[in-house]
Amino acid sequence: MAGRHGQLRGDRLTAMFDIDEILSLDLLTLREHTVLAGDVLDAATQRRLLEQSIGTAEVVTVRRGGTLVAYAMLRPQEAGLWFVLGFNTHPAHRDASVFRELFAQIAALAARRSITALRSNVYRSNRLSMAFHRRLGFSVTRENAKGVEFTANLRELMGATRALRPRGAVRA
């Protein structure tokens, strides 16, 4: 098993994560729509991509009972604009509380790193992610037969997380 990784940012250590945990979650959830898009999700290749991303990316995680259930991996692309390298949740934990916690961490990261917008690429075959991006207010900035590039202003995106609350829920 790979060692646990933490990211030192300033004087504080951010999310602790293990590449094996992220890889397992990716292999669980990404394979079907990757194959449908005509690509291959290979464990060794995905591991190498994750290992390469650690040096330039910020990772935020959500755990339940000590187990990784969601993560977001973001990398700066240009001033204020960050690219979403990975955003994944375990199918059994796709609920408002997990998403709120993940978005709260993204908001904190955005404040620390002056992130104003996010860009994300999604396979057209990933129907859940396509719908999720639209529900959050991402706009299509480019597309081709295989995928769509989405971009969102972070302020609008964080306002849209209200849509993640269960219907009829009252904000405390």
The per-residue b/e assignment along 50-82, b for 16 or more CB within 10 angstroms, e otherwise, is beebeeebbbbbbbeeeebbbbbbbeeeeeeeb
- Structural domain boundaries in the chain: 4-164
CATH number of 4-164: 3.40.630.30
**Lowest mean pLDDT, pick from 52-56, 61-65, 136-140:** 52-56
**Which one is predicted more confidently, 167 or 33?**
33
> Among 8, 31, 5, which residue's Cα sits nearest to residue 112?
8
Residue 167 has pLDDT above 60, yes or no: no
pLDDT in tens, 24-33: 999 999 999 9
| Alpha-helical segments (H) within 10-66 | 19-36, 43-54
| Alpha-helical segments (H) within the chain | 19-36, 43-54, 96-113, 127-136, 154-160
Contact 30, 88 (CB under 8 A): yes
pLDDT in tens, 90-145: 999 999 999 999 999 999 999 999 999 999 999 999 999 999 999 988 999 999 99
Q: At what angle do helices 43-54 and 19-36 cross, to 10 degrees?
A: 130
Contact 138, 121 (CB under 8 A): no
Question: What's the mean pLDDT when you consider all of the chain?
Answer: 85
Total residue count of the chain as it appears in this document: 172
**Lowest mean pLDDT, pick from 26-40, 58-72, 75-89, 151-165:** 151-165
